[in-house]
Amino acid sequence: MPWGVSYFLMKNSEYAMHDRAKATRTTPEQAICGPDAALLASIAESAVARSIGNTPLHRLRRYERYLGLPETIELHLKAEWVNPGGSIKDRTALSIVRAAIKSGQLGPGRTLLDATSGNTGIAYAMLGAALSFPVTLVVPGSASEERKRTLAAYGARVIYSDPYEGSDGAIRLVREMTSVAGDDFFYADQYNNPANPAAHVATTGPEIWRQSDGRVTHLVAALGTTGTLMGTGAYLRQQGAVQLIGVQPAEAFHGIEGLKHLPTAIVPGIYDPSLPDRIMGIETEAAFEAARALARVEGFFAGSSTGANLAAAGELARELASAGQAARLVVIGCDGGARYLSTGLWELG
């Protein structure tokens, strides 16, 4: 038995491997009851929940000049790090939690359980603290120290998976845990939960369309759970001929936290390969260099996934400029740079 599952069972002795009857303590009456009204009301009242979304969209004029782009090529950065939990995953987590409460899957006596590379987990933990439900997370041991400490600060229970297996290792471990955990746990399953892309259909997409005056030509979004590109892209595609660009690491072994190299990874169930117009592979060092340049040129302190998006956008922008095309590219700024201070991203000579 993997050590993570053994640890989970040791800490939760009522969920014995061979005692499923004891683990499943929810009665039939509880199972068919409706959503918890008090918990739904607490979302509406929560200052944290109400602070999620409506993030700014900034044109990066200095960065455009840094790249040598003509005025006809615009780069706009969606600054998702201003969400209260520090990343775009606040939108995802809130959507999943709200949907689970409405369906009766999450309520009194139930713990939210999921695998996460860090940001969605932080958002779950933040909402768990704000709305008073417990959170247990499986996180790759390779997650940055800042992410680990943030999860601890919010009071989440964290189990670390093999650091060399990345997010896929966390997914495999949490699936083993759910097979023995019983009905006291709600498995949020962000990689396959339709509430993930729904968050971006409802919020991120409309915000970008409005903030760009309906003139966005390209959306550049990193692929982790893939929910941002799937949801935002689906909304924007309905509005007009917007090109959708997915960004992934160039290789299976990489240092861009939270991103998946889809050819070699567990592909999320919410991913629709027919939606993106193009998938761009970005080297880790190129992502790091773009994030560092953003800090030094524009003064925005962002993480490595934002750097990957910027590196891809820069490559695409140069192609468009060479072809004499005008464009307004919107780049997703996934999270802030402070979450990576202990990583190679900011180990500068």
- The pLDDT tens digits for 318-335 are 999 999 999 999 999 999
Place of tokens 């700014």: 56
pLDDT bracket for residue 349 (50, 70, 90): low
State the angle between helix axes of 119-131 and 145-154 in degrees (0 to 180), rounded to the nearest 10: 10
The Cα–Cα gap between 95 and 194 comes to 9
The Cα–Cα gap between 23 and 12 comes to 10
Coil, strand, or helix at residue 182? coil
Nearest in space to 140 (alpha carbons), one of 223, 270, 260, 279? 260
- Whether the per-residue pLDDT at 13 is higher than 60: the answer is no
Long-range pairs for 28-35: beta carbons < 8 A, 24 or more residues apart: 31/104, 31/183, 32/104, 33/104, 33/107, 34/104, 35/101, 35/102, 35/103, 35/104, 35/107
- 319 contacts: CB under 8 Å, gap ≥ 6: none
Nearest in space to 232 (alpha carbons), one of 208, 202, 200? 200
Q: Which amino acid is it at 304?
A: S
- Residue 227 CA, chain-centre distance (Å), reads 8
What is the per-residue pLDDT across 223-272, written as a single tens digit (0 to 9) for each? 999 999 999 999 999 999 999 999 999 999 999 988 999 999 999 999 99
What is the per-residue pLDDT across 75-98, written as a single tens digit (0 to 9) for each? 999 999 999 999 999 999 999 999
- Asked if residues 73 and 326 have their Cβ atoms less than 8 Å apart, the reply is yes
Taking residues 175-184, what's their average pLDDT?
Answer: 87
Q: What is the pLDDT of residue 42?
A: 85
Angle at 54 between CA 79 and CA 75, to 5 degrees: 35
Number of residues that make up the chain: 349
Nearest in space to 310 (alpha carbons), one of 229, 247, 254? 247
Nearest in space to 169 (alpha carbons), one of 201, 138, 205? 138
Bigger pLDDT: 344 vs 116: 116
- Asked if residues 159 and 173 have their Cβ atoms less than 8 Å apart, the reply is yes
Average pLDDT value over all residues in the chain? 89
Q: What is the pLDDT of residue 4?
A: 42
- Whether the per-residue pLDDT at 8 is higher than 60: the answer is no
Taking residues 33-43, what's their average pLDDT?
Answer: 78
DSSP state of 302: B
**Domains, the chain, with CATH or none:** 3-18+31-48+89-187 (3.40.50.1100), 54-87+203-346 (3.40.50.1100)
Task: Tell me the catalytic residues.
Answer: 89, 305
| pTM as predicted | 0.88
- Whether the per-residue pLDDT at 20 is higher than 70: the answer is no
Taking residues 286-305, what's their average pLDDT?
Answer: 97
Q: What is the pLDDT of residue 34?
A: 61
Bigger pLDDT: 40 vs 241: 241
Percent residues over pLDDT 70 in the chain? 90
